[in-house]
Chains A and B, each alone.
Chain A
């Protein structure tokens, strides 16, 4: 009977890992730098580690979400300095949560579907700016 390795949910905090989910060990060795346990080591260069981004539109979305996360965290910290229980503070952190989740969803989608989310849109509209092929 074949044995199947289930890797655990993610890497550890100390490694600053971006792997949000268990990787297929073979995928791990083939595409990412892996330690000897087959766990994916990733740097903070999350754009590169994000899987199958092919079109410029997807790359633009990733970039925009990354920038928004940073911007909104700064805003939330400022807004909450006065009163942590104020409505403005709650809303500011809720926005941070929204964009963080949106980025994670995009990342998850790229990894699991293994194709660019704009694939079908770009087949119909290849001439748009969003559908230019993204070259690394």
Chain B
């Protein structure tokens, strides 16, 4: 039984998709190619669609995205925005373990890398290692399973239960079109890194982290400013040693810093967000402002647009980051109104939108998500569109080869 994803010449909203994923390992020398073309008459849903079904275990069929973040996983707003760009809501697997960390939508499956903990909470306590420590994680299993999913083979993935702190029985994960692996160590292991088609690192500065954790925890019984601070401080050595170095490998880094528009602001409400985009990444063209490769500083508020305090400030320019050429787009400030957002969108280029106002529309769709009024929401949405673009380019390049073969 082979895995047979169907590729069409059309874009994502394809009318033909037949896929019967199987768990059996498909050895690479069995390379069956089945060509099947539907005509207008027989196709149930009409429309011209020449579909080619290719079954091959050798190719990568699933696009894999890595997201490094310290903020829990699978349920984060970044993931929700990303899955929303592709359409459909991401939900936990129905009928399975209610404490599952996995999110599934039509196009995407988001896996939480905490599921690859080799030590549960008790085990980590015994060994004296935090969850940040690589010794608490099974990178061999992570690599095997991500590799299998990428090749179109379903896996039984363990579940780490954050409530009980135990490892629960595994759940079946079928290979999706887009696999997102989110957690503390997506880029730590070199083998896993090589499987990623695109990687993102969410870099929150210490001051902002502190402000966010205060907002998150202050109302909890037991927590106080001191306990929140102590928790961050205690985890910092492991974080700096094991998590932070991954950012050099990321194709895009979203850096969140305190604003420079309000002197001595420590509330962490107004944010300065930088989107650091690596140059030369296949299928990824960085977003730019006005003139690609130049250095721009832009305050949109003025005669055409009135903004309330503290306003909005953009900048864009080339830079180097850990020895790589990058382009950096930065936003400081907050959006207060719809027209500010659309005004900004109309001046950005290379957004990979399918229609004018798509970024604004996506932001509005999730106006109640955190970060909807600042650079975090804006850049997360833009990265989502970039990933969609990357996905379409990758799958288009895969269809090109078999279609040419049929023409011959």
Asked whether B215 lies within 8 Å of A44 as measured between CB atoms, the reply is no
- Could you say which interface size class chain B belongs to? 35 or more
B71 interface residue per 8 A CB criterion: yes
State the CA gap A67–B299 with chains docked (Å): 48
Name B364's closest neighbour in chain A (CB-CB): A4
Closest to A45 in B: B219
Looking at chain B's contact residues, the main secondary structure is loop
Contacts of B328-371 to chain A: CB distance below 8 A: 334-339, 364, 367-371
**B217: Cβ under 8 A from any A Cβ:** yes
B215 contacts which chain A residues (CB < 8 A)?
9-10, 17, 20
Contacts of A94 in B (CB 8 A): 124, 130-132, 231, 234-235, 238
Q: Size of chain A's interface in residues, with CB distance under 8 A?
A: 70
**CB proximity to A under 8 Å, residues B161-175:** 162-163, 165
Q: B214 at interface (Cβ–Cβ under 8 A)?
A: yes
Known: A8-B269, A17-B219. A88 touches B128 (CB 8 A): yes
A42 touches which one: B219, B270, B370 (CB < 8 A)?
B219
Nearest Cβ on chain B to A62's Cβ, whole angstroms? 10
Q: Is the CB of A117 within 8 A of B92?
A: yes
**In the complex, A89 Cα to B230 Cα: how many Å?**
10
> Within 8 Å CB of A96, what residues of B?
227, 231
Interface string of B94-125 (1 = CB under 8 A from A): 11101000000000000000000000010011
Tell me if B264 counts as interface (CB < 8 A to partner A). Answer: no
Chain B residue contacts of A89, Cβ below 8 A: 234
Interface residues of A in 102-136 (CB under 8 A from B): 102-105, 108-109, 111-113, 117-118, 120-121, 123-124, 130
Q: Is B245 an interface residue (CB 8 A)?
A: no
Contacting pair B269 A93 (CB below 8 A) = no
The verdict on A36 contacting chain B, using a C-beta distance below 8 Å, is no
Residues 108-152 of B at the A interface (beta carbon under 8 Å): 121, 124-125, 128-132
Closest to B98 in A: A121
Q: Are A1 and B234 in contact (CB under 8 A)?
A: no
Residues in A neighbouring B270, C-beta threshold 8 A: 8
0 or 1 for each of A6-39: is its CB under 8 Å from B? (1 = yes): 1111101100111011111001000000000000
- Complex Cα gap A61–B92 (Å): 17
* B217 contacts across to A, CB distance below 8 A: 69, 100, 104
CB of B72 within 8 Å of the partner chain: yes
**Complex: chain B residue closest to A87, CB-CB:** B128
Q: A80 — which chain B residues lie within 8 A by C-beta?
A: 230, 234
Closest A residue to B216 by beta carbon equals A104
Partner of B373, one of A2, A8, A70, A87: A8
Name B63-87 residues within 8 Å CB distance of A: 71-72, 75, 77, 80
Q: Which residues of B contact A71 (CB under 8 A)?
A: 222
Can you name the residue of chain A whose Cβ is closest to the Cβ of B237?
Answer: A90
B113 to chain A, nearest CB (A): 14
**B25 near A: Cβ within 8 Å?**
no
Cα–Cα, bound, A78→B387 (Å): 46
Q: List 25 A-B contacts (CB under 8 A).
A: A5-B336, A6-B334, A9-B269, A9-B373, A17-B215, A20-B216, A20-B370, A21-B370, A44-B219, A64-B163, A77-B227, A80-B230, A90-B234, A91-B128, A94-B124, A96-B231, A97-B235, A101-B71, A102-B72, A105-B75, A108-B77, A117-B98, A120-B92, A121-B95, A121-B98
Residues of A within 8 A of B (CB): 1-10, 12-13, 16-18, 20-24, 27, 42, 44, 46, 57, 61, 64-66, 69-74, 76-77, 80, 84, 87-105, 108-109, 111-113, 117-118, 120-121, 123-124, 130
